[in-house]
Structure 1
């Protein structure tokens, strides 16, 4: 019996929110030198400016990693 692939799942767009971002940052940044990178398109309800302002207000350093990505430390 030959087993092949099944059809690809219908893809959905991510719609992550503040809680998701907070969880990502807290799970990835725990020690000096730790960083996290997010893809802005995964957070369509949040603007880049909102994310940067909120992160910086809470002690994170935010950098533009490349087009559409932000880095946090």
Structure 2
């Protein structure tokens, strides 16, 4: 299950899937600029905008050490 909204905040590095990559599951890594989903959780992941301007749904939060951080 993707991380909840409470686990995501601006400045975190995340892996997300963009709309055009949903079929392939291709992940994009970037730094969160803004959270776009208002609900506490979403079955496909919380939608965010990255600092690069890309938009997608978060699949995993990447810890500062570079490993995945996906509690729960």
TM-score bracket for the superposition, by shorter chain length = under 0.3
Q: Between Structure 1 and Structure 2, which shows a larger proportion of strand residues?
A: 2
The structure whose RCO (Cα within 8 Å, separation 6+) is larger is 2
TM-score (norm: length of structure 2): 0.23
Q: Between Structure 1 and Structure 2, which shows a larger proportion of helix residues?
A: 1
Rg larger in 1 or in 2? 1
TM-score (norm: length of structure 1): 0.23
